[in-house]
């Protein structure tokens, strides 16, 4: 063990002496390694952070949940909208029937939405998302309340003129969001409503989602006094029981909807069942592709960096040839010489990796401050980066180290 520590210490000391003696040459040679590690860490960290946020936003749409709509979500550029535009929209009556016909469902709710203004005194906020919801919506879509309360069963039963307000809307309208509960605001068509609760600040969503910060939630019955249900993007949300597979839930919903709409066996479905969990799998595939692209760039950079480190090691072996001969003359074994140079090469690559890591860390702080998007570097990424530095260092130094280990001591001493 003592011998191993001596070799490690000697290699680290030689690496530091090499860096001090030839700072510019070493830094230039390590640029490739630093850039490669920079690419790996930055790509993996950014993709991990984005994927975490996107998956979080997708889960916020409801886990184990299917959205019944006239439209198929995520259709892409070739989306045949003309096939769906004439389909009947989901209705409140259909939601009530589904509760009777789908035993696999744990919660069934309905939402209608529009975009309008919210006013208070002489101040008006435009472009606010209105959501008219039913009582089981909260079970599918958890809403955190900062102040006040959420909608209560009596609010739904009597279509009460009350709203729960998003943080950004309240902040814009009242200066301080905390002032919102208890205020009476003016909504679409001049309807007045009491703000009973303030939604906790959510932050920006990467997949759109509900964007609660810029919204007001109200009982479905109250919202229907301001808009027509059929023209307000009605959606039925169905959350399956924990023990029920999504395939079974989909089958039951398909059968129930066809029965409710009295479709003949030869007729195609005139509704769409959008599986939210499927979006999560789709996101995994996209980020997997991005990761592969990042790895390709990083590997190219590391190969370039490996040649740079190999060049340093060849020069180092040539400069230290007399020392190598002297070490071998006093009894140093080939394995010791080989190990010392391989460790030195690995240490050089680790230095390059640290340079890349410093740059990435600085960029993560900048992105958080400028864009408000937190990029985190997971411990597994750091371990991977260090492991790659060691592997690249060993590969870069294997030939120079082998040449040094095989030198004839007499020839090496006389080479000066």
Q: Which helix (H) or strand (E) holds 103?
A: none
- Residue 4's pLDDT is 47
- pLDDT of 254 reads 93
Give me 280's structure tokens: 């999560």
Report CA Rg, the chain.
Answer: 32
Instruction: Enumerate residues 6+ apart whose C-beta is below 8 A from 357.
Output: 37, 38, 41, 382, 385
* Predicted local distance difference test score (pLDDT) of residue 390: 81
Q: Is-contact 317 349, C-beta < 8 A?
A: no
What average pLDDT values come out for the chain (416 residues) when binned by 10 residues?
53 55 62 73 74 65 81 68 84 94 93 95 93 94 92 95 96 92 94 95 67 94 94 92 87 93 90 75 64 72 74 75 72 74 76 80 76 72 80 82 77 65
- 48: its two tokens: 């991990």
Coil, strand or helix at 269: coil
pLDDT at position 362 is 82
pLDDT at 148: 94
Q: What is the pLDDT of residue 14?
A: 52
Task: Report CA-CA distances (Å) from 404 to 73, 325, 409.
Answer: 64, 9, 10
What residue spans of 197-263 are helical by DSSP H?
220-223, 246-260
Answer whether 0.75 is exceeded by the pTM. no
């Amino acid at each position: 063990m003592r011998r191993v520590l001596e070799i490690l210490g000697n290699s680290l000391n030689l690496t530091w002496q090499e860096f001090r003696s030839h700072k510019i040459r070493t830094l230039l040679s390590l640029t490739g390694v630093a850039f490669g590690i920079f690419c790996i860490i930055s790509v993996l960290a950014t993709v991990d952070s984005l994927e975490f946020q996107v998956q979080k936003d997708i889960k916020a749409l409801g886990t184990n949940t299917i959205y019944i709509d006239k439209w198929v979500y995520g259709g892409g550029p070739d989306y045949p909208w003309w096939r769906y535009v004439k389909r009947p929209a989901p209705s409140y009556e259909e939601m009530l029937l589904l509760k009777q016909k789908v035993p696999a469902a744990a919660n069934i709710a309905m939402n209608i939405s529009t975009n309008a203004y919210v006013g208070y005194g002489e101040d008006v906020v435009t472009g606010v998302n209105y959501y008219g919801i039913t009582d089981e919506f909260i079970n599918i879509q958890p809403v955190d309340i900062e102040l006040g309360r959420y909608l209560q069963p009596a609010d739904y039963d009597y279509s009460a003129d009350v709203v729960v307000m998003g943080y950004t809307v309240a902040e814009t309208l009242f200066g301080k969001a905390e002032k919102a509960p208890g205020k009476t605001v003016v909504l679409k068509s001049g309807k007045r409503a009491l703000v009973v609760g303030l939604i906790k600040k959510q932050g920006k969503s990467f997949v759109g989602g509900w964007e609660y910060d810029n919204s007001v939630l109200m009982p479905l019955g109250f919202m229907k006094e301001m808009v027509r249900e059929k023209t307000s993007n009605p959606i039925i949300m169905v959350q399956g029981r924990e023990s029920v597979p999504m395939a079974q839930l989909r089958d039951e919903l398909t059968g129930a909807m066809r029965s409710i709409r009295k479709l003949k066996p030869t007729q195609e479905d005139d509704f769409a069942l959008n599986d939210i969990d499927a979006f999560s799998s789709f996101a995994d595939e996209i980020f997997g592709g991005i990761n592969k692209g990042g790895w390709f760039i990083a590997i190219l950079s590391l190969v370039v960096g490996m040649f740079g480190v190999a060049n340093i090691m060849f020069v180092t072996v040539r400069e230290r040839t007399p020392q190598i001969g002297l070490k071998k003359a006093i009894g140093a074994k080939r394995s010791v010489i080989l190990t010392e140079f391989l460790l030195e090469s690995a240490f050089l690559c680790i230095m390059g990796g640290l340079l890349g890591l410093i740059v990435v860390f600085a960029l993560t702080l900048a992105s958080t401050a400028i864009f408000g998007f937190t990029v985190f570097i997971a411990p597994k990424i750091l371990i991977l980066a260090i492991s790659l530095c060691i592997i690249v260092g060993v590969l870069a130094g294997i030939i120079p180290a082998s040449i040094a280990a095989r030198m004839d001591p007499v020839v090496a001493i006389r080479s000066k």
